[in-house]
C-alpha cells in the first residue's frame, strides 16, 4: 500500500448508513425463552469524500451494498408482564448480494460501477438488549439496540455494526 492510500483510508473512516427489512419465525419453549430465525434484506451506503486525498486520480464518492442475512437467535424476556426487558444473542449469516460504487474524477465526471458478488457467507455475532411490549394476546412490539461483530480476515479489520431493531411480533 502506498503512503497516499494509507493516508486516504486513515482520514475517511468506514461508516455505513442503511436499513433492514425482514421476517422471522419464533419457537417459544417457555414463557420467557424462544429461538428465532428468518431472512433479513439489508441496504446500506458508505458515504465517502475522497476527492482531495490523492490529487489527479480517481476516488470513491459513495458505495452502495445489498445483502442477505439469516439470523439464528436465542431470545429471553425477564418477565411475562406486559412490559418486559428483552435480550437477544446469536449468530447472523451475512451474504453480500450486490454492490456498486459511484466514482467521481477530479474533473467532476461521475460513473457507476456495479458487481454481483459470489462472496463467502460471513458469520456475525449479534447482541441486543431492549424492551418487549405486549399490545394484546397475539401482538407484541420489540425494540432493542443491537450490535453485530464480524472479523474480516482478508483485510484484518474488525467490523462492528450498530442498529436499532424494531419488530412487530404476531403470536398464534
Q: pLDDT tens, 28-50?
A: 999 999 999 999 988 777 666 55
| Sequence-separated (6 or more) residues with CB below 8 Å from residue 147 | 126, 127, 128, 160, 161, 162
pLDDT one-digit tens code per residue, 129-157: 999 999 999 999 999 999 999 866 656 66
| Sign of the CA dihedral running 87, 67, 125, 27 | positive
Shortest CA distance to 143 belongs to which of 127, 126, 124, 128? 128
Q: How far is 172 from 168, CA to CA, in rounded Å? A: 13
Contacts 24+ apart (CB under 8 A), 107-110: 110/61
Segment 93-113 mean pLDDT: 72
pLDDT class for 117, splitting at 50, 70, 90? low
Of 2-11, 59-68, 85-94, minimum mean pLDDT range? 2-11
pTM of the entire structure?
A: 0.73
Phi-psi region of 153 (alpha: psi -120 to 50; beta: other; left: phi over 0): alpha
**HEC states along 129-156?**
EEEEEECCCCEEEEEEEEEEEEEECCCC
Residue 61: the pLDDT is 63
Length of the chain: 172
How many Å apart are CA 129 and CA 77, to the nearest integer?
Answer: 10
Amino acid at each position: 500500500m502506498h503512503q497516499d492510500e494509507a493516508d486516504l483510508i486513515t482520514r475517511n473512516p468506514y461508516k455505513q448508513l442503511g436499513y433492514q427489512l425482514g421476517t422471522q419465525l419464533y419457537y417459544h419453549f417457555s414463557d420467557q425463552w424462544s429461538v428465532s430465525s428468518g431472512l433479513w434484506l439489508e441496504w446500506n451506503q458508505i458515504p465517502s469524500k475522497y476527492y482531495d486525498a490523492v490529487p489527479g486520480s480517481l476516488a470513491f464518492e459513495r458505495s452502495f451494498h445489498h445483502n442477505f442475512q439469516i439470523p439464528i437467535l436465542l431470545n429471553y424476556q425477564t418477565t411475562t408482564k406486559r412490559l418486559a426487558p428483552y435480550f437477544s444473542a446469536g449468530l447472523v449469516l451475512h451474504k453480500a448480494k450486490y454492490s456498486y460504487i459511484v466514482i467521481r474524477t477530479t474533473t467532476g465526471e461521475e460513473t457507476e460501477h456495479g458487481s454481483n458478488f459470489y462472496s463467502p457467507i460471513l458469520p456475525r455475532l449479534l447482541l441486543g438488549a431492549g424492551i418487549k411490549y405486549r399490545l394484546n394476546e397475539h401482538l407484541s412490539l420489540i425494540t432493542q439496540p443491537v450490535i453485530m461483530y464480524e472479523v474480516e480476515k482478508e483485510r484484518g479489520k474488525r467490523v462492528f455494526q450498530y442498529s436499532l431493531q424494531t419488530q412487530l411480533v404476531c403470536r398464534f
